[in-house]
Structure 1
Amino acid sequence: MSASAHLEHAAELVAQACRIVALTGAGFSRPSGIPDFRSPDGLWAKSDPSEVASLRSFRRNPDHFYAWLNGLLDPILTAQPNPAHLALAELEAAGKLNAIVTQNIDGLHQQAGSRRVFELHGHLRSATCPDCDRQVPTKPLLPNIRSGRAPRCNCGGTFKPDVVLFDEILPPGIFWLAHQAIEQCDLLIVAGTALEVAPVCDLPLFATRRGTKVIIVNFEPTYLDPMASVILRADVASAIPALARAALYEAVGS
């Protein structure tokens, strides 16, 4: 089957569905200039995640953690939604997309206009002191971070960004809502994720076990490929908008 035939089939599935959920990963924001993690030139090709992005390493050496994070700040804080983010927001506005479940911490789905977004790995909008639970906006902490100093709380603790590090559990409430959304959807779009990080990688199984159709948009194979209805090996920034345009045109014309 040709690439255009795959796209046409995927568009038909989107046009027929009423409760779509999109599960997105780091590859979804790569066209916005934010590096992903697991590609050959991704972040984990340069750094050991257990040494720079784990709760254990944060507690042991928060300055080292913030030195690593500082290199990501500008790409994340200056990034703009790419066409894939905008296309999902368009599908939501049209009543086709019910929710976005994302592993990304960049907030680009919300910037694009999406409203129901479950951020499984947290976000950079705020930080919390683990010693006293004081939560503050991240913006006032940026001067400290950019100067290479871990931001300190008045109690003497170190503020930690409200992102989920290795060794941490996902926010139970957010994970439950994401699980419910995926379990109840009638089409799941998995885009820009290799599905290698637990427990997020298991979420699509709650859809496939019910016979829900799955569209995968990802350059590399995933464990879910044998269970997918359609696989698009394409850049999300071109495939998702094309899918949305085709699906919305078909829905209007039907």
Structure 2
Amino acid sequence: MKNLVVLSGAGISAESGIPTFRDANGLWEGHDVMEVASPQGWKRDPELVLDFYNQRRKAARKAEPNEGHKLIASLEEHFEVQVITQNIDNLHERAGSTKVLHLHGEIFKCRSSLDEHLVYDMEGDEIMLGDKCEKGSQLRPHIVWFGEMVPMMEPAAALAMKADVFVVVGTSLVVYPAAGLVDYTARNTPIFVVDPNVPEVYGREDVTAIQENASTGMKKLKDILLERYR
């Protein structure tokens, strides 16, 4: 079976009721993103940051996978599918996708603020001040914040290099380094882009644009993929 790599972004989760990362004013749920998604914000007011993600976690728990997530999962019947997501929710997994790489972390995990390798699955929805890791440091969300390295970028790039088909869904391709994953694909790899506002893919010729939201667009794309590559 061909290797199908899917890069997903906020647009696919938005259909499940999870707000996109920030609005036109650079705010995320009413907060300046640097207040709640940066090492500086964490140092300045860790309680605010913890509360912010506790609320996001509860919202993500209530959200349900949409048709876009389910269609991506269903492609595993016909392809070797690897999802690379910029999203921190678990909607791809809940829809049935079995290989999901989270570039920017996972909201249902926490980690040591002292040792980034100490990562824990969360049992509840809240991290509180005073909750500590085994080394005695405060637990923090297992999220990649602005100004931090993206440790999963290297394995994601390796997956992109092996793609026979590369799909971009629900992302504007403006957030780096994730947007650069397209450049890791082989020059002859066909690229499909599903988004209401189709981003430009520079320097590539074999690009098929589907100007739809994830649910509608993925249905059209599945038909195309099965016709061309099954």
Give the alignment's TM-score, normalised by structure 1: 0.79
Cα deviation for residue 152 of structure 1 reads 2.1
In the TM superposition, 1:93-132 aligns within 5 A as 93-94=77-78, 96-131=79-114
Matches of 1:132 and 1:188, distance apart in 2: 34
Q: Which amino acid in 1 is paired with 2:65?
A: P
Partner of 2:222: 244
Q: CA RMSD in A?
A: 2.6
Name the CA shift for 1:46/1:219 in 2 (closer, same or farther; >3 Å).
Answer: farther
Partner of 2:196: 219
Matches of 2:155 and 2:70, distance apart in 1: 23
Structure with max Cα Rg = 1
Matches of 2:55 and 2:29, distance apart in 1: 15
* Alpha carbons 1:19, 1:185 under 8 Å: kept: yes
Matched, 1:190 2:163: no
Give the alignment's TM-score, normalised by structure 2: 0.86
Cα deviation for residue 165 of structure 1 reads 1.2
Structure 1 gaps, min length 5: 1-16
DSSP-derived class of the 2:21 partner:
coil
DSSP-derived class of the 1:32 partner:
coil
Relative to its length, the structure with more helix (as a share) is 1
In the TM superposition, 1:22-171 aligns within 5 A as 22-40=6-24, 43-44=27-28, 46-94=30-78, 96-131=79-114, 134-140=118-124, 142=125, 145=127, 149-153=128-132, 157-171=137-151
Structure 2 gaps, min length 5: none
Name the CA shift for 1:66/1:224 in 2 (closer, same or farther; >3 Å).
Answer: same
Task: Identify the structure with bigger relative contact order (alpha carbons < 8 Å, sequence gap 6+).
Answer: 1
Relative to its length, the structure with more strand (as a share) is 2
Partner of 1:3: none
Partner of 1:7: none
* Alpha carbons 2:153, 2:177 under 8 Å: kept: no
Cα deviation for residue 47 of structure 1 reads 2.7
Matches of 2:54 and 2:26, distance apart in 1: 16
Cα deviation for residue 43 of structure 1 reads 4.9
Cα deviation for residue 29 of structure 1 reads 0.8
Q: How many residue pairs get matched?
A: 227
